[in-house]
Amino acid sequence: MPRPNTASLPTHEGLGERFRTARALTEALAAPLSEADATIQSMEDASPAKWHLAHVTWFWETFLLRDHLDGYALYDARWPFVFNSYYEAEGARIARFSRGMLSRPTMGEILDWRAHVDRAMAPLFERAELAPLIELGLAHEQQHQELLLTDIKNALFRNPLGPAMREEGAQSAYRQPGGWHTHPGGIARVGHQEAGFAFDNEGPAHRVLVEPFALSSRLVTNREWADFIADGGYETASLWLSDGWGWVNGEGIGAPLYWHEDEHFTHCGWQARDPDAPVTHVSYYEADAFATWAGLRLPTEFEWEAIARGQDGEDAAHDPTAGNQLDSAAPPLPRGSAGLFGDCWQFTRSAYLPYPRFKPAEGAVGEYNGKFMSGQFVLKGASCATARGHSRASYRNFFYPHQRWQFTGVRLAKDL
């Protein structure tokens, strides 16, 4: 469990409503899927949609109902074995790449379980001491909303027939303002420092020293990436990290994931690429090689956060709701906003490591973030698949440098 800023906790008012909204959104996201769509697993990194629906429910049932509601009996005592993700303290569990074997329980059984758990949760919203844990559960549910979308995209992509799970809607063209956010260097305060929920890995807030730098006000586009390819980017060893070069050649990589000729694969099937849209589905290795090719570099997580906090003297247009596409009831957003959030997660050159004095929480939820602090890189921002309000300036997403099935893109930086 994250170490909440107890002094500034959100009141528990509205928690129940937010819970119900989040739970309904998860189900709405899965609604266009057939039961078969929701069952398949395309790779070890990804999970079936049905499993996501069940796993988040296991989280509520385990850490809230089982641990904090007197007399609560597990809905099905065999299910923790199949719906626990990686919590060693919660015992043995199904091998990760066997999640795709779970044709049972059925979607109907899982939806019944969800309804049962949702009802059972009702009395807990009144208990202020549980609010931090419920906030964690909400954030967790939102993370799996995004994973559900990126995982099913990967699964449908693996089907040679290229099926769609949504109709293509009318879309405005991308407009990204050019220019640079500049920072004079100096001491910046980073990490979670406001009221409201944050994951344990966002704290403690602390000071860091940054050198003068500039951060691009826009994301790298598909057009620029096509230029990189045309210039032999994927065949030029000197642009790449050694591990990246091994990955490119070992895996036969020559373009972002989901690209094929002038199209790319989307939730709406194969579609023409918009050259002005931000490139997505690139790995850290690719992002770094592109930056080298461009004569620039990736920002550190601290540089990115300093700009996001408006410490550069400009209006950084920090709107963490921008770009959020999940909630179809919200008004449509212009694509390519001036802010740092939305469209895609942005790789930083910062390894995902603990902040000074970081301590993971006690108990099983202490496994949430801390144990992943080796070998991964921090991403900042939010993507088109991130739940509205989920991210913030201190948010630290993290993936391995070869992974690219998330909506990952590139925002460049340079020294001043």
CA 34 to chain centre: 24
Q: What is the DSSP letter of 56?
A: H
User: Which of 401, 360, 350 lies closest to 380, judged by CA?
Assistant: 350
Q: How far is the CB of 181 from a copy of itself (least distance, A)?
A: 17
Distance (Å, whole) CA 349 – CA 346: 10
Backbone phi, psi, residue 409, to 5°? -140, -165
- Strand partners of residue 251: none
Helices (H) and strands (E) in the chain, counts: 10, 12
Quick one: tokens of 77?
Answer: 């005592």
Query: Please, which residue, 222 or 348, has the CB nearer to a copy of itself?
Result: 348
Q: How far is the CB of 253 from a copy of itself (least distance, A)?
A: 15
Quick one: tokens of 219?
Answer: 């994301």
Query: Please, which residue, 85 or 325, has the CB nearer to a copy of itself?
Result: 85
Distance (Å, whole) CA 338 – CA 218: 7
Q: How far is the CB of 303 from a copy of itself (least distance, A)?
A: 10
Q: How far is the CB of 144 from a copy of itself (least distance, A)?
A: 18
Distance (Å, whole) CA 67 – CA 129: 13
User: Which of 122, 127, 136 lies closest to 63, judged by CA?
Assistant: 136
| Single-letter amino acid, residue 131 | A
The crossing angle, in degrees rounded to 10, of helices 222-230 and 284-293 is: 70
Query: Please, which residue, 339 or 366, has the CB nearer to a copy of itself?
Result: 366
- Interface residues with a copy of itself (CB under 8 A) are 34-40, 42, 50, 78, 81-82, 86, 88-89, 94, 98, 100-107, 155-156, 158-161, 163, 187, 206-209, 211, 237-238, 240-245, 284-285, 288, 349-351, 353-354, 356-357, 366-367, 371-375, 377, 401, 415
Q: How far is the CB of 208 from a copy of itself (least distance, A)?
A: 6
Quick one: tokens of 78?
Answer: 């065999």
Q: How far is the CB of 232 from a copy of itself (least distance, A)?
A: 14
385 within 8 A of 262, measured Cβ to Cβ: no
Three-state DSSP class for residue 350 = strand
Distance (Å, whole) CA 349 – CA 154: 26
Three-state DSSP class for residue 290 = helix
Query: Please, which residue, 95 or 272, has the CB nearer to a copy of itself?
Result: 95
Q: How far is the CB of 361 from a copy of itself (least distance, A)?
A: 12
Q: How far is the CB of 60 from a copy of itself (least distance, A)?
A: 20
